[in-house]
Amino acid sequence: MRILKTQLPVDNDWHELEGVHFPGQIKHIACQFDVSIVQVWFEEDTNEYVRTPSNIKGRIYGTGQPIEDIASWAGTTVVADGELVWHLAVKV
């Protein structure tokens, strides 16, 4: 096993979560350097997974934005000294 990281822009669009093959792999989200980019840390079992394209897409929502019915919540991060809260939604 190892922990890897990918990132998503805060841009109201869906993006492939590179390396993530199912939502349960996601362990943590945060804005490491920039409040407009959310990093996603995920678990990869090096014995089980082969590097194949991901079929999981992620999108960042702000608090209060409606999340599409086809998506499920996967994490939250508080940024800008609590002024912004981003939520990660995923869909297969």
Q: What is the pLDDT of residues 38-85, one digit of tens each?
A: 999 999 877 665 556 667 999 999 999 999 999 999 999 999 898 999
- pLDDT of 61 reads 97
List, in sequence order, every residue forming a beta bridge with 87; answer none if it has no partner: 61, 76
On the CB side of 2, CA atoms within 13 Å amount to: 6
Q: For the chain, what is the domain count?
A: 1
**How many of the other CB atoms lie within 10 Å of CB of 17?**
24
Whether 10 shows a pLDDT value over 60: the answer reads yes
Tell me the average pLDDT across 25-42.
95
- pLDDT of 51 reads 57
- pLDDT of 20 reads 87
- pLDDT of 64 reads 95
The domain in which residue 70 lies consists of: 2-91
